Amino acid sequence: MSNTKDKKPLILVSNDDGITANGIRKLVDLMKQIGEVVVVAPDSPQSGMGHAITIGNTLRLFRERIFPEVEAYKCSGTPADCVKLGKHHVLKDRTIDLVVSGINHGANTSISVLYSGTMSAAIEGAIEGTPAIGFSLCDYDPEADFDHADEWILKITEQTLKRGLPKYTALNVNIPPKRIEKVKGVKVCRQANAKWEEVFDQRRDPTGKPYFWLGGNFVNFDKGEDNDEWAIANNYISVVPCQFDLTAHHAINYMNEEWEL
């Protein structure tokens, strides 16, 4: 890869944990080894925002000198807003080669991809026709160690830039927490059939008014060995290619044949 600045790939970096999170600092440091980096990230944590966008409120964007030698902006909106502003305002006269989101503090395996702000930033890039990757570390500790993932993040990113992805595809990459045993490798796999079984704990505030606190348990119904939950449990990095087309294609013929419309 050329060291000439104008030959380097242009990489837009975002996240959902906010611009000051340790995960995005690590990701920026890694992406600087590969290309020219521009950051547009939320000014505060936006976990669980899914693909929400700001419609009825103002969006604010401020230059932030938080990463050495990197052009960076903090945004008052959601992760999807950040990528939209990066594409259509900050870098409107340039071609983005890759959108990268993360590194998220916590897993985004199985059904969590639908709720994930990290993955929504990546999928927003895919919607624009740009290759995109969302990276997550399966460790919720804000001080978690990311170092064991460095070589894998670089390898997956470099392969994406070199080999490309099918158009409108975003990779959902989940990394096991740091263990005594080294990461075994990468599994390109599918999303597991798993979900959260929610429990709403009803409580009362100091004035006696009721409120609810969401909790629950994660349940994995999938017994296969070709999914992201299996990969993480067995100390592999999972890579799930994702798309924004939510059509249940298998249901179209069934409905056309069985329904009376």
The domain that holds 232 is classified in CATH as 3.40.1210.10
Per the annotation, binding residues for a divalent metal cation are 16-17, 47, 104
**Could you report how far apart the first and last alpha carbons of the chain are, in Å?**
57
What is the spatial distance between Cα 233 and Cα 132, in angstroms, rounded to a whole number?
A: 25
- At residue 69, φ and ψ (nearest 5 deg) are 60, 25
Q: pLDDT tens-digit profile of 160-170?
A: 999 999 999 99
Is there a domain that residue 210 lies in?
A: no
* Residues of the chain below pLDDT 50: 1-5
The pTM (predicted TM-score) of the whole model is: 0.92
Q: What is the pLDDT of residue 6?
A: 57
Is there a domain that residue 204 lies in?
A: no
* Counted domains in the chain: 1
Per the annotation, binding residues are 16-17, 47, 104
Range of the domain at 68: 5-193+223-258
